Amino acid sequence: MKLLTWNIQAAIGTRRYRDYLLHAHRQMIHTPSKALALRAIAREIAPFDVICLQEIDLGGRRAGYRSQVETIAAESGHAHFAVQQNRIVPGISRHGNAILSRWPLHLVHDIKLPGRVPGRGCLIVDIDGPAALRVACLHLSLGAPSQLAQLAAVADGLRAARDWVAMGDFNCGVGSAPLDAFCTMAGGRLAPSSPDTYPSWQPRRDYDHIVSSSELPLTHYRAETAILSDHLAVSARVAVPDLSARKE
């Protein structure tokens, strides 16, 4: 099973620091460049089986009043998706997370994560694929205290599943207190090495991760090379065992 997580920055397309200023209008309105970016994002994710996207606009003015999830899924060929709305800026944007899949999804939980500033969330679904897998798509706050509380909530949502992956923009790196605590709380494991993903054009921080349950090793773990957001995507492969073949 091929996995990918990506903070797509609502297809704004930041490729250098000055773009934060030069492309500021893209935070407010839809532009032809966003349509091109969404198609390019769809091409990049098309080979993957399960994709977690963060900072995706679910139909605000800056997305042309159309969900970017539907646009991407139509282009990438993923027939199944679930979305979570976390923050609305009236008249401008609808911020959210999304999970796209080749196989049907069963919504488990839409978690509004705690924090000093509201608007962060975790979407958890079960994949009805070749074998059972629970997937959490998350986007955490910037501060460690909020991250610790948020990851405790995510761990609660994963505890009942034997095989799971948590994917997203953690806004913290390997070796940080929140990520270490999450692996302890949830019984998770990290890849042996964590590539830097932010900023995409000169990566210096490993903010984006795929964490798996303790008995579910990840392989082919890497940062993708496409610069279509201010984050790089992270991908991995996982072989989910058939539960019927496991001994209790």
Strand partners for 237? 2, 219
Q: List the structure tokens of 34.
A: 């966003």
206 pLDDT band, cuts 50/70/90, is very high
27 vs 57, residue with greater confidence: 57
First to last CA, the chain: 24
Is the pLDDT at 20 greater than 90, yes or no? Answer: no
94 pLDDT band, cuts 50/70/90, is very high
DSSP assignment letter at 78? -
Q: How many domains does the chain have?
A: 1
247 located within any domain = no
Compute the distance between CA of residue 142 and CA of residue 123 in angstroms, rounded to an integer.
19
116 located within any domain = yes
Residues 161-183: tens digit of each pLDDT: 999 999 999 999 999 999 999 99
Strand partners for 188? 213
Instruction: Count CB-CB contacts under 10 A for residue 79.
Output: 12
The enclosing H or E element of 54 equals strand 50-57
Strand partners for 112? 121
The confidence score (pLDDT) of residue 242 equals 62
Is the pLDDT at 245 greater than 70, yes or no? Answer: no
Q: List the structure tokens of 77.
A: 């060929």
Q: Which domain holds residue 214?
A: 2-242
Compute the distance between CA of residue 35 and CA of residue 24 in angstroms, rounded to an integer.
17
32 pLDDT band, cuts 50/70/90, is very high
Report the CATH number that the domain containing residue 54 is assigned in CATH.
3.60.10.10
248 located within any domain = no
214 located within any domain = yes
23 located within any domain = yes
Compute the distance between CA of residue 104 and CA of residue 189 in angstroms, rounded to an integer.
26
